[in-house]
C-alpha cells in the first residue's frame, strides 16, 4: 500500500473512531479489504496497532463505548486484526495477544463481570481449570479441600464456590486467590497443573459455572440468551479459544499468551481451551476438535478417569455427541471411523467411511482413512484406488503418499513407483527438518549454572575439566536462542534424553547408596532404598515442550525403503521421543525409578515384554527360550500386552512354569509399577516398533537395564534402550555411536572414568548430521547369530525322529528317506514339472520384492533355462502385477515359468520348504523367519550382505542365519553380480542320472550343499536353542555387572559385549 493511501486510511480510522460508538460497519469493511489483499506490508500492522490503541487502553480497559448489544462487533474487529497479523508475521506473541483480546473483551462486556476487578485471560483459564478438576472428582470425591483453602485465604466470602447451589463467582475468587491457588492445584506426581478429562456433559457446563454471578444462579450470558448479539459473542469467543489452542499445538509458547502460569503443560492447556470453547458454543466442529485432542492422549493420560477408560474412549463420546448435532459432519464421521478402526472395530469403521464418502465423495481425509483401514486388513489392492483419488483431489495430502506407496509395493504394482517413492522420501525429510524449529528456548528458562547443578546431583562426583567443558558447551548451545543457532539442533530431543540420563544416573546412585557395589546377595533384602528428597529440575521445563509429530514414514516402513542410515535413525528417534513425551505426561520426569535389590542368590530377574505371545512368528521362534533359562541363575517373567488369541502358543506360555502375566488391559503406569514391584533387573523389549508394541513402558525406565531383542531388526534410537542383541554380520561394529565416540575421544585417565553425558550434534545424538553411524544402543554380539529358532524342538514332523534317534540313524538312510519325501511332495505340488527342472523360490510377503531384485530373478531364469520361480500369493493381488511385469521385461516364455501357490499353515509351510532347490533372498529387507524355515528343511539359499545395505540390520538377517549353519561361505554374497552368478552356477551344477529302477538321482554342488544342511541341522548353532540361550545368559550377567560397577555409563570402553562360545560345531559328512 502506498504512503498516501496509508495516510488516507489512518485519517478515515480516526474519523470513524471519533464517533461513540464507532462506525462498526466502516471498520468491518476496511478490515475485510485488508484481509483479501494478496500481500500485506508492515504498514498494515501499523494500522491494526493504531486501531487497537484507539479501542483499548494499556490497562486493557476499553476506550470506546460498547454496549452488550454491540459486543460482537468489537470482537469481530479484534478477530480481524488478529487474522491480519497472523497473515503478515505468523505466530508472534502480539498475534496471539489479539486473540486473547477477543476472549477478554467478550468477558469484560458481559454483566455482571464488567464491574469491579478487571478479570484477565489468566483468571478465566485458572477458574476453568478448577471447575474442570472439581467436575472430574464429583461424585464421589468431595471438593479438594486444599484448593478451597487456598481460595479461602485470599478470596472474599461471597466469592467462594457453592456447587450445591450451582452458584459461583469462580473467576472473581480465583482472581483474588493469587498464586497460592496455583500451588494448591499442582498434580503431586507431575508437578504441573492436572491434565483433566471431562465427559461431554461436564464440558458443556463449564462456562456456566466459571462465569456464574456471585448473586444469581444464572450465568452472565443469561440476560442476552435470546439475542443475536450474544450468539455472535459466544461464537467469536469460542472461535478465538480454538484458534489459541491450534497455535499452541503448532508450537507457540504458552508464555506468548501472557498467561504467566509456570506450571502449565501444553497438552493440558490445549484440552482446557477446547472444553471452554465447546461450552460457549457447542457446535459439531467443537465436539470434533475436542475428540481429536482427546485421541492424542494415548492410554490413561489423566488420573481422574477410570482405568477402564482412556482418552480415546472419552473421545468417542464427543464424536457421538457431535453427530447428534450434525449427523453429516464430514470430519466427525471420518474421525469417528478412524477411532473405531484403531479400536479394532474395522467392519464398523468401513461402514462409517462408506457412509461418509456417500455424503462427501471428495473428502480427502475420509478417502485416506478408508484406504488405511483396508491396507491394515491386508487388502492393499482395494486401498490403492482410495489413495489415488485422495491424491488427485489434494496433491498436498502427505499422509496419502506413504500409504499409497506401501500399498502399491505390497501388491508389486510398480506403476510410477519412482514418483511415489520420491514423494514419500522427500516428505519424510521435510518433516524431520521442520521439527528442529519446535521447542526453541525451553532450556534457556534455567541458567547454565542451574543445569550444571542438576548434572552434579546425578553424577554425585566432581566432573573432570574436559567433561565439565563439554557440559558447559552443550547448555550454552541452548542458552542462545538467536537466529544464529545451528540448524540441526533439536532442543526437545536433547531435553528428553537429558531427563532419561538424569533418571538412570539417579537410580544407579540410589542403588549404590543403599546396597553398595553389590552384584548379588545371599539373603533377602526387604528394605528398599529410602526415598530421597524430591528435586524438580525438569517438571516445569518439560511442561513447555510440545509433542513432536512423527514422520508419515514409520520405523517399520524403513525396512523396505531405500533410506540413508541417518534418516532411518531419525525416524526411529522421533517415535522414541513420542513414547518418552507420552510417558512423562503420566509420571513426573523428576521421579527417579526405584532400583531393584541385588539378585538374590545370584538369580537375575529378567522380564520379557511382548504383544506377540500368541500365534505369531516371534512365539514360533522363541517358544522354548523361556523354559530353557537356567532357573538357578535366572527368574523369568513374561508380560503379555495383548489379550489371548486362544492359540496353542498362548496356552503354552500361560500354563508354563514361568511367571506369565496378561497385562493387556492394564494402563502403562500400572504395568510399570508391576515391573518395579517384581524387581526386574533386565527388561527385554521383544516388540520394538512393530504393531502392538507399548514402548511407553520402557520409556518409564522400570528396570535398570533395558535390551532390544528379536522383535525389531534395527535401532530404536531411544535413550531408554541400552543394548541391542545382534551379531557381527547384521550390525557392523563401526555403526554404533558409542564405539565411534570412544575411538575419537581422548583416552586419558580422566576422560575414561567420566560419564559420557548427553551428546549434541555428535556421536550419540540421533539428530546429528553425521551419516556414519546408526545405532544408539550398545551392541551385545552373539557368537553365531542373534536370531534364535525353535525348529529343533517344534518342527520334527516328517522324519518323526527325536534328536537322539536321528543321531543314531545312519546318514545314508536319513538322506535316502529325505529324497523320497521331497520327491513325493514335489510331484504333489507340481505334477506337471519334470524332476530335472530347477525350482527357485521365495516365500516372503511380496512387499519385500523390489524391481531390482525381481529383474535379477528374471536374469537367473533366463540363464538357467530349465528352471521356474516359485512365489506365494502373499497377497494374491500381487500375482497379476508380477506376471505382467515379467512379460514386459523378459517376455512371455520366462513369465510363464513363474508359479504361484497359496499361503499355507505354518507346519505345512515348513514341511514343503524342502521342495525348492534354491531359495532366492530379497535385498532391501531379507527373509527372517522364512530363512530359518527353509534352512531347517535343508534348502540352501542365496543371502544378501551387500555393503550398500550395511546400515540396515533388516537386510542382513538371512546372511546371519545362513552363516550360523556353518556353510555360510556357500550362500552369502556381497553384490548383486555375485548374487546372480552364484544362483546360476548352483542351478546349472545340477546333474541327473536315471537309475536302473527308474529313479532319478541328482548330483552337483547344489545337492551336496543341501545334503550338508539337512544332515547337520540338529548340531549347527542356528538350531541349537539351548546353546543360544546359554550365550544370551552370559550377556545378561555381563550387562548386570556393568550396570552395578557403573562402567555402562563411562567412556572407559567402547560398550561392546562380545559373547564367547568355545564349543566346536561338529560337521556330519558321512
pLDDT at 222: 47
Cα within 13 Å of Cα(107), Cβ side: 29
Can you tell me the distance from the alpha carbon of 664 to that of 833, in angstroms, rounded to the nearest whole number?
Answer: 49
Query: Going by C-beta distance under 8 Å and a sequence separation of 6 or more, which residues neighbour residue 217?
Result: 165, 166, 167
Q: pLDDT class for 214, splitting at 50, 70, 90? A: very low
- What is the average pLDDT across 353-379? 96
Q: pLDDT class for 654, splitting at 50, 70, 90? A: very high
437 vs 789 pLDDT, higher one: 789
Q: pLDDT class for 541, splitting at 50, 70, 90? A: confident
223 vs 945 pLDDT, higher one: 945
Tell me: cis bond preceding 331? Omega within 30 of 0 counts.
Answer: no
Side-by-side strand order, sheet with 941-944: 898-901, 867-872, 838-842, 918-920, 941-944, 972-973
Share of the chain above pLDDT 90, in %: 58
Please return the burial class of 998, using the count of CB atoms within 10 Å of its CB with bins 0-12, 13-18 and 19+.
Answer: exposed
CB contact at 8 A, 709 and 1035: no
The C-alpha cell that represents 860 in the structure block:
537367473
Taking alpha carbons only, the member of 498, 550, 544, 494 closest to residue 296 is 550
CB contact at 8 A, 642 and 611: yes
- Range with lowest mean pLDDT among 42-56, 683-697, 774-788, 826-840: 42-56
CB contact at 8 A, 552 and 402: yes
Place of cell 527417579: 592
Highest-pLDDT range among 214-228, 697-711, 792-806:
697-711
29 vs 849 pLDDT, higher one: 849
pLDDT at 31: 80
Can you tell me the distance from the alpha carbon of 318 to that of 311, in angstroms, rounded to the nearest whole number?
Answer: 11
pLDDT in tens, 488-537: 578 889 999 999 999 999 999 999 999 999 999 988 776 555 555 557 78
Helix (H) or strand (E) holding 124: helix 121-136
352 vs 478 pLDDT, higher one: 352
Can you tell me the distance from the alpha carbon of 275 to that of 289, in angstroms, rounded to the nearest whole number?
Answer: 10
Give strand pairing partners of 707.
684, 723
pLDDT in tens, 12-39: 666 666 666 677 788 788 788 777 777 7
pLDDT in tens, 1056-1065: 999 999 776 6
DSSP 1022: G
**Rg over CA atoms, the chain:** 33
pLDDT at 811: 95
With H, G, I as helix, E, B as strand and everything else as coil, classify residue 708: strand
Please give, one letter per residue, the 3-state secondary structure of 991-1015: EEEECCCCCEEEECHHHHHHHHHHH
The C-alpha cell that represents 633 in the structure block:
541363575
Question: If you write DSSP's letter for every residue of 425-467 in order, what string do you get?
Answer: HHHHHHHHHHGGGTTTTSGGGS-HHHHHHHHHHHH-SPPPHHH
Is pLDDT of 115 > 60? no
- What is the average pLDDT across 733-759? 82
1057 φ, ψ (degrees, to nearest 5): -115, 115
Question: If you write DSSP's letter for every residue of 157-209 in order, what string do you get?
Answer: GGGS-BGGGTB--HHHHHHHHTHHHHHHHS-TTTSS-------HHHHHTHHHH
Can you tell me the distance from the alpha carbon of 1038 to that of 1040, in angstroms, rounded to the nearest whole number?
Answer: 5
Can you tell me the distance from the alpha carbon of 445 to that of 497, in angstroms, rounded to the nearest whole number?
Answer: 17
Q: To 5 degrees, how large is the angle CA 636–CA 779–CA 1032?
A: 30
Can you tell me the distance from the alpha carbon of 1046 to that of 675, in angstroms, rounded to the nearest whole number?
Answer: 22
Can you tell me the distance from the alpha carbon of 222 to that of 111, in angstroms, rounded to the nearest whole number?
Answer: 10
Is pLDDT of 50 > 80? no
Helix H segments across 705-781?
A: 737-744, 749-752
pLDDT at 627: 96
pLDDT in tens, 252-307: 777 777 777 766 777 888 999 999 999 989 999 999 999 999 988 754 444 444 44
pLDDT in tens, 239-251: 888 988 888 887 7
414 vs 238 pLDDT, higher one: 414
Can you tell me the distance from the alpha carbon of 24 to that of 598, in angstroms, rounded to the nearest whole number?
Answer: 76
- Range with lowest mean pLDDT among 433-442, 721-730, 774-783, 878-887: 433-442
- What is the average pLDDT across 55-69? 62
With H, G, I as helix, E, B as strand and everything else as coil, classify residue 725: strand
Rounded to whole angstroms, what are the CA distances from 629 to 183, 625, 637, 795?
51, 7, 11, 21
Taking alpha carbons only, the member of 553, 1047, 500, 1061 closest to residue 784 is 1061
- What is the average pLDDT across 875-901? 97
pTM here is: 0.88
CB contact at 8 A, 463 and 471: yes
- Range with lowest mean pLDDT among 166-180, 388-402, 650-664, 1039-1053: 166-180
Can you tell me the distance from the alpha carbon of 213 to that of 167, in angstroms, rounded to the nearest whole number?
Answer: 7
99 vs 955 pLDDT, higher one: 955
The C-alpha cell that represents 9 in the structure block:
486510511
pLDDT at 161: 40
Tell me: cis bond preceding 736? Omega within 30 of 0 counts.
Answer: no
* Strands in 922-1062 per DSSP E: 941-944, 972-973, 991-994, 1000-1003, 1057-1058
CB contact at 8 A, 673 and 556: no
Amino acid at each position: 500500500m502506498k504512503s498516501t493511501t496509508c495516510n488516507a486510511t489512518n485519517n478515515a480510522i480516526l474519523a470513524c473512531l471519533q464517533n461513540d460508538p464507532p462506525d462498526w460497519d466502516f471498520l468491518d469493511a476496511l478490515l475485510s479489504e485488508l484481509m483479501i489483499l494478496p500481500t500485506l506490508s508492515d504498514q498494515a500492522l501499523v494500522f491494526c496497532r493504531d486501531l487497537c490503541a484507539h479501542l483499548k487502553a494499556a490497562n486493557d480497559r476499553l476506550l470506546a463505548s460498547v454496549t452488550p448489544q454491540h459486543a460482537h462487533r468489537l470482537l469481530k474487529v479484534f478477530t480481524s486484526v488478529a487474522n491480519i497479523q497472523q497473515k503478515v508475521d505468523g505466530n508472534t506473541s502480539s498475534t496471539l495477544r489479539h486473540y486473547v483480546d477477543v476472549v477478554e473483551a467478550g468477558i469484560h462486556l458481559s454483566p455482571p463481570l464488567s464491574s469491579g476487578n478487571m478479570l484477565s485471560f489468566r483468571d478465566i483459564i485458572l477458574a476453568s481449570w478448577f471447575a474442570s478438576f472439581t467436575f472430574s472428582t464429583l461424585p464421589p470425591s468431595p471438593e479438594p479441600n486444599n484448593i478451597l483453602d487456598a481460595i479461602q485465604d485470599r478470596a472474599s466470602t461471597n466469592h467462594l464456590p457453592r456447587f450445591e447451589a450451582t452458584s459461583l463467582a469462580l473467576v472473581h475468587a480465583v482472581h483474588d486467590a493469587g498464586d497460592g491457588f496455583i500451588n494448591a492445584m499442582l498434580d503431586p506426581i507431575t508437578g504441573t497443573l492436572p491434565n483433566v478429562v471431562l465427559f461431554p456433559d461436564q464440558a458443556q457446563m463449564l462456562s456456566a459455572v466459571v462465569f456464574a454471578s456471585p448473586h444469581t444462579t444464572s450465568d452472565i450470558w443469561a440476560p442476552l440468551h435470546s439475542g443475536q448479539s450474544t450468539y455472535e459473542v459466544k461464537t467469536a469467543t469460542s472461535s478465538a479459544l480454538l484458534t489459541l489452542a491450534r497455535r499452541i499445538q503448532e508450537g507457540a509458547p504458552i508464555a506468548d499468551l501472557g498467561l504467566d502460569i509456570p506450571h502449565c503443560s501444553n497438552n493440558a492447556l490445549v484440552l482446557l481451551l477446547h472444553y471452554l470453547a465447546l461450552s460457549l458454543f457447542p457446535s459439531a466442529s467443537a465436539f470434533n476438535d475436542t475428540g481429536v485432542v482427546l485421541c492424542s492422549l494415548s492410554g490413561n493420560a489423566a488420573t481422574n478417569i477410570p482405568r477402564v477408560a482412556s482418552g480415546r474412549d472419552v473421545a468417542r463420546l464427543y464424536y457421538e455427541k457431535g453427530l447428534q448435532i450434525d449427523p453429516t459432519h464430514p470430519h466427525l464421521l471420518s474421525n469417528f471411523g478412524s477411532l473405531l478402526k484403531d479400536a479394532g472395530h474395522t467392519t464398523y469403521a468401513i461402514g462409517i467411511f462408506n457412509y461418509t464418502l456417500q455424503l462427501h465423495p471428495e473428502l480427502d481425509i475420509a478417502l485416506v482413512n478408508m484406504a488405511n483401514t483396508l491396507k491394515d486388513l491386508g487388502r492393499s489392492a482395494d486401498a490403492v484406488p482410495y489413495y489415488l483419488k485422495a491424491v488427485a483431489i489434494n496433491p498436498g495430502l502427505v499422509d496419502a503418499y506413504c500409504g499409497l506407496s506401501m500399498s502399491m509395493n505390497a501388491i508389486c504394482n510398480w506403476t510410477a513407483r519412482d514418483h511415489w517413492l520420491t514423494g514419500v522420501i522427500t516428505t519424510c525429510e521435510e518433516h524431520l527438518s521442520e521439527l528442529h524449529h519446535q521447542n526453541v528456548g525451553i532450556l534457556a528458562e534455567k541458567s547454565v549454572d542451574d543445569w550444571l547443578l542438576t548434572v552434579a546431583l546425578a553424577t554425585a562426583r566432581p566432573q573432570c575439566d574436559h567433561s565439565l567443558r563439554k557440559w558447559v558447551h552443550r547448555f550454552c548451545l541452548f542458552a542462545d536462542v538467536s537466529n544464529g543457532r545451528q540448524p540441526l539442533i533439536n532442543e526437545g530431543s536433547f531435553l528428553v534424553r537429558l531427563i532419561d540420563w538424569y533418571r538412570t544416573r539417579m537410580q544407579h546412585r540410589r542403588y549404590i547408596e543403599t546396597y553398595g557395589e553389590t552384584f548379588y546377595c545371599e539373603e533377602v533384602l526387604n528394605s528398599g532404598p529410602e526415598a530421597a528428597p524430591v528435586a524438580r529440575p525438569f517438571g516445569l521445563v518439560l511442561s513447555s515442550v510440545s509433542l513432536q509429530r512423527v514422520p508419515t514414514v514409520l520405523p517399520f516402513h524403513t525396512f523396505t525403503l531405500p533410506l540413508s542410515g541417518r534418516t532411518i535413525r531419525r525416524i526411529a528417534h522421533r517415535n522414541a521421543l513420542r513414547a518418552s513425551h507420552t510417558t512423562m505426561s503420566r509420571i513426573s520426569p523428576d521421579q527417579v525409578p526405584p532400583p531393584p535389590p541385588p539378585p538374590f542368590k545370584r538369580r537375575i530377574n529378567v522380564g520379557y515384554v511382548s504383544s506377540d505371545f500368541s500365534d505369531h512368528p516371534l512365539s514360533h521362534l522363541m517358544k522354548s527360550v523361556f523354559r530353557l533359562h537356567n532357573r538357578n541363575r535366572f527368574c523369568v517373567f513374561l508380560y503379555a500386552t495383548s489379550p489371548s488369541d486362544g492359540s496353542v502358543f498362548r496356552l503354552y506360555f500361560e500354563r508354563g512354569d514361568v511367571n506369565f502375566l496378561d497385562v493387556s488391559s492394564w494402563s502403562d503406569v500400572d504395568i510399570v509399577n508391576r515391573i518395579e514391584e517384581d524387581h526386574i533387573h533386565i527388561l527385554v523389549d521383544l516388540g520394538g516398533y512393530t504393531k502392538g508394541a507399548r514402548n511407553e513402558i520402557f520409556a518409564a525406565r522400570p528396570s535398570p537395564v533395558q535390551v532390544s531383542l528379536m522383535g525389531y531388526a534395527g535401532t530404536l534410537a531411544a535413550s531408554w534402550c541400552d543394548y541391542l542383541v545382534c551379531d557381527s554380520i547384521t550390525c557392523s561394529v563401526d555403526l554404533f555411536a558409542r564405539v565411534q565416540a570412544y575411538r575419537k575421544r581422548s583416552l586419558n585417565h580422566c576422560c575414561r572414568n567420566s560419564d559420557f553425558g548427553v551428546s549434541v550434534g555428535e556421536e550419540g545424538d540421533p539428530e546429528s548430521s553425521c551419516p556414519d553411524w546408526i545405532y544408539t544402543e550398545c551392541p551385545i554380539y552373539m557368537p553365531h547369530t542373534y536370531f534364535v529358532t525353535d525348529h529343533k524342538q517344534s518342527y520334527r514332523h516328517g522324519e518323526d525322529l527325536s534328536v537322539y534317534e536321528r543321531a543314531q540313524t545312519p546318514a545314508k538312510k536319513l538322506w535316502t528317506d529325505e529324497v523320497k519325501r521331497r520327491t513325493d511332495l514335489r510331484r504333489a505340488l507340481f505334477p506337471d514339472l519334470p524332476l530335472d527342472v530347477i525350482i527357485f523360490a521365495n516365500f516372503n510377503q511380496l512387499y519385500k520384492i523390489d524391481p531390482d531384485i525381481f529383474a535379477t530373478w528374471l536374469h537367473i531364469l533366463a540363464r538357467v533355462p530349465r528352471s521356474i520361480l516359485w512365489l506365494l500369493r502373499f497377497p494374491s493381488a500381487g500375482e497379476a502385477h508380477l506376471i505382467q511385469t515379467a512379460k514386459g521385461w523378459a517376455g512371455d516364455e520366462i513369465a510363464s515359468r513363474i508359479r504361484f501357490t497359496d499361503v499355507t499353515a505354518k507346519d505345512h509351510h515348513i514341511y514343503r520348504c524342502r521342495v525348492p532347490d534354491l531359495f532366492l533372498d530379497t535385498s532391501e529387507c531379507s527373509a527372517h523367519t522364512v530363512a530359518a524355515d527353509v534352512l531347517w528343511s535343508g534348502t540352501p539359499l542365496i543371502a544378501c550382505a551387500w555393503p550398500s545395505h550395511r546400515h540396515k540390520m533388516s537386510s542382513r538377517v538371512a546372511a546371519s542365519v545362513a552363516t550360523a549353519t556353518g556353510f555360510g561361505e556357500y550362500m552369502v554374497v556381497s553384490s548383486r553380480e555375485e548374487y546372480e552368478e552364484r544362483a546360476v552356477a548352483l542351478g546349472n551344477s545340477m546333474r541327473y542320472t536315471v537309475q536302473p529302477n527308474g529313479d532319478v538321482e541328482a548330483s552337483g554342488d547344489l545337492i551336496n550343499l543341501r545334503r550338508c544342511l539337512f544332515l547337520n541341522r540338529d548340531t549347527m548353532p542356528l538350531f541349537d536353542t539351548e546353546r543360544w540361550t546359554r550365550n544370551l545368559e552370559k550377556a545378561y550377567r555381563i550387562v548386570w555387572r556393568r550396570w552395578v560397577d557403573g562402567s555402562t555409563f563411562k567412556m572407559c570402553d567402547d560398550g561392546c559385549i562380545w559373547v564367547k562360545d568355545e564349543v566346536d560345531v561338529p560337521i556330519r559328512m558321512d
